[in-house]
Chain A
């Protein structure tokens, strides 16, 4: 349920950018969220409808761009998806590192002027 706090942060950020631009309404938010950040789209959407009420962003559509978690092998450079052992499926090396999936940002907002 930490999505409530996250959604409140999201609203503040969007308003911070919309107000100085003279926007009369925010119609869309474009989010980039990595798999490792443990945030559920449905849950953010659910809270969004409540927290955005009576603001410039009321009724705005949330667009989620999900980024898959990937790991990169430090031995053979194979990039692979999350598995339960964090071991390279190509060469069996244990020397692997996170390559993507931690993204957690607001890319842009769509507004009416």
Chain B
């Protein structure tokens, strides 16, 4: 029987839609971050910290991938534009969902779009969304072995936040072991330890976002 050679990434249909999302973002001059983490790592807390820290300087918006409105309401309280991407119980966002949700936001003048992915360390790693950077949030409470268990997620990160560093005293978290796993998978990735609760380290994260927005404007 005839064989037709393909040799193409299995996700190419998703990636085409991701390019369409990227074009819309670029046309609007909006920088978008795909925020990924396990459930309870602190995605929403960091998102609200980010909004509080930057809303006086920049115009911000958020997309929240979830099944319920709880987090959307928390984000809405910060006063920024936010829309729910209803994942219908799905374990990840994909480019198609983001593409469908974008028209519910007015991106005119929006400098930064924060896309909160579904809490999961496996599935979201497989789907490009068209966002500019992947932000992965780990947390001390999850333990130091996650880079060894979920390599794909750590491999794809452009920035790695380690949240809940206020818990380091209460937890057997071997920082050296954690960082070694990260370094092997993703040499030189920006690493930002912080506590969304106490605010320690948050300024370094805000500085990273500021410079990414400014760099995007410059292009």
Q: Which residues of A contact B (CB under 8 A)?
A: 1-2, 5-6, 8-10, 12-14, 16-18, 21, 23, 27-28, 31, 36-39, 69, 71, 84-86, 94, 96-98, 102, 104-113
Determine chain A's interface SS by DSSP, over half rule: mixed
Q: Which residues of B contact A (CB under 8 A)?
A: 1-14, 90-92, 94, 122-123, 125-127, 145, 148, 150-152, 155, 177, 180-181, 184-185, 187
Contacts known (A36-B151, A37-B152, A98-B155); A6 close to B91, Cβ less than 8 A: no
Chain B residues within an 8 Å CB radius of A9: 10-14
Q: Are A1 and B123 in contact (CB under 8 A)?
A: yes
Query: With A and B bound together, what is the CA distance between A5 and B5 in angstroms?
Result: 23
Q: Are A5 and B94 in contact (CB under 8 A)?
A: yes
Q: 4 more A-B contacts (CB under 8 A) besides A5-B92, A9-B12, A85-B148?
A: A14-B6, A38-B150, A86-B148, A98-B155
Can you sample 6 A-B contacts with CB below 8 Å?
A2-B127, A5-B14, A6-B11, A37-B126, A84-B145, A86-B180
Q: Are B91 and A107 in contact (CB under 8 A)?
A: no
Q: Are A110 and B3 in contact (CB under 8 A)?
A: yes
Determine chain B's interface SS by DSSP, over half rule: mixed
Determine how close the nearest CB of chain A comes to the CB of B146; give it in whole angstroms. Answer: 12
Q: Are B4 and A111 in contact (CB under 8 A)?
A: yes
Chain A residues within an 8 Å CB radius of B1: 27-28, 110-112
Q: Are B126 and A108 in contact (CB under 8 A)?
A: no
Q: Are B10 and A109 in contact (CB under 8 A)?
A: no
